[in-house]
Amino acid sequence: MFAVLAPLASVLAIPAAAQEAQEEWPQYSRDDASGCDVTTYEDGAQDLSCDDGSYGAVWADGSGYRYDAASGCQTDFGTAGEIVYDSCAEGGGDGGDDGGGGGESDQVYDEATGCWINDYGDGNSDQNCDDGSWGGNSGDGSGYWFDGASGCYNAWDSSGATVDEWCEGDGGDGGDGGDGGAYDEATGCWINDYGDGGGD
């Protein structure tokens, strides 16, 4: 009989207001110091959208990405917090799964798709395409893709489950517009043109 009452007692010990708060997902908060809005999901994943145009996500497995609007750089990190891709790292490279220095990438242009493909040789890769599409895959199976034609972004975790998605103009995460992704060979930089006068 006690075994039947024990779960009931634990529910009754939580005030009703706290029970309701626990069931409301996602939860929204504001970090005034950084000027960012944070959305937290029931599984612990978080989305970040900042006043300066920066955005990012951390998924339940601890991996994620961050786009810094000031520098125009995107950094992807693995489940242990190691950098697996840095769009602004000199010479490409990814931090390596062992947290070591930036590995060299083997970059090739695929004429069939119109994409530059960086293969880091450790399961990590990324692509930047002529049509404005871009994305990457991590060795753990997680990844992200922005489709230049539709203006939609999708990210998934190591199980393949979608963890973040938005489309330009929908007011979602990263909704300041996707990047146009033009590569300037003279500087070796990807230039993002958001079509609203902003760029990096």
- Rounded to two decimals, the pTM is 0.39
Structural domain contains residue 157: yes
Predicted confidence at residue 126, as pLDDT, reads 85
Predicted confidence at residue 91, as pLDDT, reads 42
Provide the number of structural domains found in the chain: 1
Structural domain contains residue 159: yes
Structural domain contains residue 199: no
Structural domain contains residue 84: yes
**Cβ contacts of residue 65 below 8 Å, gap of 6+?**
56, 57, 74, 75, 76, 77, 144, 155
Structural domain contains residue 186: yes
Residues 87, 95: contact at Cβ < 8 Å?
no
**Which single residue is written with the structure tokens 């972004």?**
153
Q: Which domain holds residue 56?
A: 23-191
Q: Contacts for 37-45 with beta carbons within 8 Å, 24 or more apart?
A: 39/173, 45/163
Positions in the chain short of pLDDT 70 = 1-23, 90-106, 170-200
pLDDT per residue as tens digits for the range 90-131: 544 333 333 333 445 567 888 888 888 888 778 888 888 888
Structural domain contains residue 71: yes
